[in-house]
A and B are shown apart, each in its own frame.
Chain A
Amino acid sequence: MKLSRRRLLQSGIASAALPLLESTSSRAYGQTPATPKRLIVFFHPNGTHAGAWFPTAGSTPDAFTLNRIHADPLAAHKSDLVFFRGIDMKCTALGPGEPHQRGMAAFLSGRHLLEGGFVGGDGSLAGWGSGITLDQRVAQALGQGTKFGSLELGIRATGGEVRHRISYTGANQPLPPQNDPRLVFNSMFSNLGTPGEDAARLRRRRASVLDGVRNQFSALSTRLSSVDRQKLEQHLTLVRDLETRIAAGDGTASAACNKPGTPPALNTNSEATMEQISRLQIDLTVMAMACDLTRVASLQYSNGQNHIVFPWVNSPMDGHALSHVGNTDPAREQIVARDRWYAGEFAYLLARLKSIPEGNGTMLDHTLVLWGNELAEGNSHSHANMPFVVAGRAGGLRTGRYLQYNGVSHNNLLVSLLNLLGIPDTRFGNPDFCTGPLSGFA
């Protein structure tokens, strides 16, 4: 079922070109004068087809040629991208679990899994990830004053176990993605543009209710175990945090910040709606950031199990089964076709960010986008030579390069991304697999 442009426009999300009212618009946001930096994570599962992914290198890092997966969809954005070869998820060498489980947690945490009772795709046992993920570390640093500390969005990112989660606030604390754009919209935008007096009244009312909630925590007479005290203390902290964010408000409409149309009610777990939902989720992410309602987001496509089909690119195989075809099997062209579609969505995201003027450039100049996967290669489950791509120029990153390494740990890339976003951490994830920032990158 091909998705026509008309249907996309009718889906209700406004994506008009915007006038160049740079200096006035940044004040209309109600932002501090310095433009905020942002992180967006983009994930798709089960590896790729290396022969169609990695660029052809030239004599210098900036003289590379895009390969078949990226050449068409990302041609217009080549100068905004950084490709890598030779980065490995080395931290997956430790801990329990099968490779999908390990990779899902390792991608953004740079750490292995805890022991636990999950059964993996092949039946092996593991627990949750053992540390905070990049996006949440960034949310800690950059997201304290926004309505949402971070946004975890999904596109058919179903399931609830370790193969289905990429984001963690800490060890044993996975964050679920939200697959329904309508629910994202309701929470993010329903109060955008509410007249000042009504907005203030709602804020006061909410502050009063949350105050009452906090008093119920204090009134607990139950003598709890220390585990439970800690659990409720953590919940209470989230309530206090929510109170602070309520005070930050629901955003103000401006040149760049418009309340999107209400997304339609859609089946959120079907190949028939996947294209439409992808665009809706991307639009909601970009608009949420344009309104400074959040500065951190992740877009998770599918999950480590990946039991989805792609009829619109003529790929009817189960995604996981597809990832296990042999190296010379013609069915690998289906992997290429799917990844090309993902590249097209990545391109759409970049185009939307570039369409919004900001400071001396566009939103993309103050954002970093990290595209990753839980595997490098589906049929061997390899975590070596991972298909990472970075886009955007937050922190002054030089883009339009293809960087080649010789088996460096991806933790270093995560450190570099933090540093570019103004977070001075010198290590991230398991320090045994991290020597500092990625050399030659930032």
Chain B
Amino acid sequence: MRSWHRFWRHNPAFVLALCGCLGSSTPSVSLGADKDATDDIHSETQALACQAEPGEARLLTREEYNTVVAELLGDTSAPARVLPSENKVAGFENNASSHQVNPNYVRSLMELAEVLSTRALAQQRSHVLPCEPGPSLTAEQCAQRFIETFARKAFRGAVSTEASAALLEVFRAGAADGSFDAGISQVIEVVLQSPNFLYRLEGEADASDGAARARIAPAEMASRLSFLLWGAGPDDELLDAAANGRLSESSDIEAQAQRMLSSPRTRARVASFHRQWLHTDLLDGLAKDAATFPGYIPSMQRAWRESLDRYVDDAFWSGGTLSSLLSSNTTFVDATLAPLYNVSPPAAGTFVPVSLPANERSGLLTQPAMLSMLAQPDQSSPILRGVFVREKFLCQPLPPPPANVVIEAPSPDPNATTRERYSQHSANAACAGCHRLMDPVGFAFENFDGMGRYRTTENNLPIDASGEFLGVNDPALSGAFVGAQALSSRLANSRTVSDCVALQWWRFAMGRIETKNDTCNLKKAQDAFAQSGGRFDALLLAIVRTPAFRYREVTP
């Protein structure tokens, strides 16, 4: 297993350390436009100052499985919901070492494959089969053709002779029971449970001369690109480019990445990243107290999720920068949400964009869905909001609470504001050390109640939404501010935040928590992101350009 960087565990000032900025003395070398015309790995190796990591086999997540079988079998029913849920790291489902099979998982994969193969042959025959047995084509000949196209697509590249032959044997064994269909369905089932399908594997035999580093092979690069940007296997254009030597040069790789970024298929992947980064799954099963919030109805959970998905999509694709994500005052409402936020309801079953008052709202963190998610059933929550910003936007983990001390949350009080009730945290020395990091951030959101509605008073007392970022060394974040818009504006101008967001994408892209070897690569991506003015497309292309994305360390 990878060893975890212990800087923060043993450094008393670790709360000031920034997860995404572990410090590196390695000088960065620009790969830029100096493309090597030859395939000389040694000279390239010398030019690279950043190290790579060994590739790690990555099991398809349920979401990826769904996208893949939709293309492969025409099955759009999202069937992977029957599989066990993923083990997640830092919110991400696609962590290479933690997302893994287990005994019941393997059984579920078998049962799922059976259902999918039966359904595919019954309902999507022409999508799945390139031929039918007939006067000019024997069953076995047609099966052979099916195997060639299906396996190539499913295994995301060239299929070995041995694998192909083995699949033909599967067909024969199945067809011996009587039918062409029986043979084909068994082939489909085997393919859907095969390692080449379930895992993205890297390591085609190419590491020669005892080199410590190997370039990611074209077919593997095709998958790296397609899973990063589409959460799916490579399309035909990528597979062809890989097979015809047009996915080795940096320029080719970058051109493909650009093409893919412009494809509508990237929208779903971007939405998925945000769902995981911002743990919006917490909106499912969210409870709101009927006494405190008589207007609440359970269908709002789904409405909030949809609203947030649309907000992110709009900010990411129309604005395209971190700043737009943190500053837009558009929100999306349906007929159930509209009355909550004082806007006219649209027709039932539709979502429309509306502008919320610019003096009230600014950006993702003021979206009603986020504020409702980061709240208690019967009140707001400066703690949940403060910790969220610290963790997800500053990448600053906080230390554990003191052991064996009663940690008491202040109860609702009709004669005090939330801020006043939480004042115990700053008064008590045992609490203040950590709570000074969370509370002053969370208090800035106090103009929003537990359903994300704007308010200027609480219990008829005026709300004080002043806030401050303590314990962070970033000029953009220093000094007090008032309110969530000001907070969002600070975040949008902060290099700490920009680096943190880049780190989140890094973790998602690479399927791991950053390692020591990642530091140099990550810095390149963070620098590019910042220098581009926070453009997400620049960040993604920068990640694709890093040595860690292009190479893997070869372990003996």
B89, A116: Cβ atoms under 8 Å?
yes
A173, B377: Cβ atoms under 8 Å?
no
Residue B170 CB within 8 A of the other chain = yes
Stretch at the interface among A62-70, A153-161, A339-347, A358-366: A153-161
Complex contacts, B85 vs chain A, CB 8 Å: 160, 176
Complex contacts, A221 vs chain B, CB 8 Å: 160, 162-163, 204-205
A224, B203: Cβ atoms under 8 Å?
yes
Partner of B391, one of A119, A174, A210, A317: A119
Complex contacts, B170 vs chain A, CB 8 Å: 208-209, 212
Which residues in A have some Cβ–Cβ distance to B below 8 Å? Answer: 96-99, 114-120, 122-125, 127-128, 148-152, 156, 158-161, 165, 169, 172-176, 178, 183, 186-187, 205-206, 208-210, 212-213, 215-228, 231-232, 234-235, 238-239, 241-242, 245, 269-272, 307-309, 316-318, 321, 324-327, 329, 331, 379-382, 384
A225, B54: Cβ atoms under 8 Å?
yes
Residue B495 CB within 8 A of the other chain = no
Stretch at the interface among B2-10, B267-275, B485-493: B2-10
Residue B540 CB within 8 A of the other chain = no
Binary flags per residue of B280-319, CB closer than 8 Å to A gives 1, else 0: 0110111101110000001000000000000000000000
C-alpha gap A321/B383 in the complex (Å): 11
B201, A316: Cβ atoms under 8 Å?
no
C-alpha gap A175/B101 in the complex (Å): 9
A382, B404: Cβ atoms under 8 Å?
yes
B4, A116: Cβ atoms under 8 Å?
yes
Closest chain B residue, CB of each to CB of A310: B287
Complex contacts, B189 vs chain A, CB 8 Å: 209, 212
A381, B407: Cβ atoms under 8 Å?
yes
Question: What is the minimal beta-carbon distance from A101 to any residue of chain B, in angstroms?
Answer: 9
A225 touching B555 in the complex, CB below 8 Å, given contacts A98-B400, A317-B377? yes
Partner of A228, one of B57, B82, B401: B57
Binary flags per residue of B478-499, CB closer than 8 Å to A gives 1, else 0: 0000000000000000000000
Residue B74 CB within 8 A of the other chain = no
Count residues of chain B with CB under 8 A from any CB of chain A: 95
Question: What is the minimal beta-carbon distance from B448 to any residue of chain A, in angstroms?
Answer: 17
- Would you list 22 pairs from A and B whose C-beta atoms are within 8 A, ordered by A residue? A114-B1, A115-B9, A116-B89, A117-B90, A124-B397, A149-B103, A160-B86, A176-B86, A186-B111, A187-B111, A208-B173, A209-B113, A212-B166, A213-B190, A221-B163, A222-B202, A223-B203, A224-B203, A231-B199, A232-B195, A309-B289, A326-B406
Which residues in B have some Cβ–Cβ distance to A below 8 Å? Answer: 1, 3-4, 6, 8-9, 54-57, 82, 84-91, 93, 97-98, 100-108, 110-111, 113, 160, 162-163, 166-167, 169-170, 173-174, 177, 186, 189-191, 193-196, 198-199, 201-205, 207, 281-282, 284-287, 289-291, 298, 376-378, 387, 390-391, 396-401, 403-409, 411, 434, 513, 554-556
Question: What is the minimal beta-carbon distance from A219 to any residue of chain B, in angstroms?
Answer: 4
Partner of B377, one of A123, A151, A309, A381: A309
B93, A160: Cβ atoms under 8 Å?
yes
Complex contacts, A379 vs chain B, CB 8 Å: 406-408
